[in-house]
Amino acid sequence: MRCTVFGTGYLGATHAACMAELGHDVVGVDVDPGKVAKLADGVVPFYEPGLEEVLQRNLAAGRLRFTTDYSDAAAHADVHFLGVGTPQKKGEYGADLKYVHAVVDTLAPMLERPAMIVGKSTVPVGTAAALGIRAREQANVEVEVAWNPEFLREGFAVQDTLRPDRLVLGLDHVRERSAWVEQHIREIYADLIAAEIPFLLTDLATAELVKVSANAFLATKISFINAVSEVCEATGADVTMLADALGYDARIGRRFLNAGLGFGGGCLPKDIRAFMARSGELGADHAVAFLREVDNINMRRRTKVVDMAARACGGSLLGANVAVLGAAFKPESDDVRDSPALNVAGMIQLHGAVVTVYDPKAVENSRRVFPTLNYATSVSEACDRADVVLVLTEWNEFTALTPADLDPVVRSRSIIDGRNCLDSTSWRQAGWVYAGLGTP
């Protein structure tokens, strides 16, 4: 089937390449000519394992191309996926929908035959219905709006697109052509449905709420175990063993119960804040008031690690030499949006320390956000004459470190494990001062 994908950032580029991988004829559209040129040359402008191979394979097969020309995209297909960003508004909690509106306002007047706009972006509930009205006011043909939220995990985006946990499609059931939309989406995902991936048909509002509710739940689970870790620190209990014990309960499960520096990235923080903002607009802010504390707990972990670093340096960071291992918000990603690791590095520098950061993939992105930090090209370079080493992103390269790897280069044998990903016993037995979060 022929389809377009508007927006070629993390979500859009992944969706476009994977739809082509499923055999569809896909055009990716973006207003950034530089991004379009890179993708057309088979270069992914961000790090995502496996995506570049999928991109190059489908470019070579002729199933995928990229353009800045909206009229070309409008003529290409009847199914238009919307994958642009919905960042947090400056100075507010709410989501900024200007990119979503820009696509609809530009595309709708160009449509020459009945078409559907299928949202992938994470948006506040009520957005899809409003977009349907907005599109039909500007189009000269019938336009339907549906919502098909994404559930991608950075580092696993290709897998999560080609073999997702579930497919959700929200339709405006009042519209006569909703069955037409469903038919087309079922055809696009025919291989996935044949593989018995659950396909859930909902109304528009439910589809919009599925994604933000999922993110809110995951954020709550992470902040819950981090809140418990604060109690563990006050009592001498071990939060890792506690989480293992909780994880055996099938009602709870072990995933997302890893205490540490907390969550970041381009989804969870801004999505829970947008959820709170939208709930307030709907008069239901009391229902999600707990998310404010979820957010507070998460941010508190960052200042906790800064305090731990100061204690490791004798009570003051002024003049200390601090090595930070990790800048991306999670491993297998170069994404530094709202990264706890990079945030901590910046705060430590503001306290007067000399901070050197190393990350296998995120150095260039980090340099654009925090150009005043020092950046290294290896672990040993970052840790050279360090007074304390902070492990803040759990890359395999860091979890595999041993005391012998760092002994020759550091000034003081002190390490803070911000992700509880190291073997504390082996580091302590080797004479290091080891500190984790929520562990004795």
Among 3, 18, 232, 267, the active-site one is: 267
Cβ(403)–Cβ(427) below 8 Å: yes
Q: How far apart (Å, rounded) are the C-alpha atoms in residues 84 and 122?
A: 9
Residue whose pair of structure tokens reads 């418990």 in the numeric block = 228
Q: How far apart (Å, rounded) are the C-alpha atoms in residues 96 and 290?
A: 23
92's tokens: 């507010």
416's tokens: 């803070």
Q: How many other C-beta atoms can be found within 10 angstroms of the C-beta atom of residue 217? A: 13
Which among 37, 39, 35 is positioned nearest to 16, based on CA atoms? 39
Positions of E strands within 128-266: 143-147, 167-171, 199-203
What DSSP letter does each residue of 152-183 carry, written as one string?
Answer: --TTSHHHHHHS-S-EEEEE-TTSTTHHHHHH
56's tokens: 């190059």
Q: How far apart (Å, rounded) are the C-alpha atoms in residues 435 and 418?
A: 8
- Helices 204-235 and 239-247, axial angle in degrees (round to 10): 140
Q: How far apart (Å, rounded) are the C-alpha atoms in residues 55 and 44?
A: 8
Tell me the pairing of strands 167-171 and 388-391: unpaired
Has 267 been annotated as catalytic? yes
Cβ(390)–Cβ(344) below 8 Å: yes
Q: How far apart (Å, rounded) are the C-alpha atoms in residues 400 and 360?
A: 14
Cβ(421)–Cβ(399) below 8 Å: yes
Which among 312, 328, 342, 322 is positioned nearest to 436, based on CA atoms? 312
The conformation of residue 95, written as its DSSP 8-state character, comes to: B
Cβ(403)–Cβ(424) below 8 Å: no
Helices of type H across 282-382: 290-312, 340-350, 363-369, 379-382
SS3 248: coil
Instruction: Classify residue 186 as exposed, middle or buried by CB count within 10 Å of its CB (0-12, 13-18, 19+).
Output: middle
Residue whose pair of structure tokens reads 């890359």 in the numeric block = 395
Question: Active-site positions?
Answer: 267
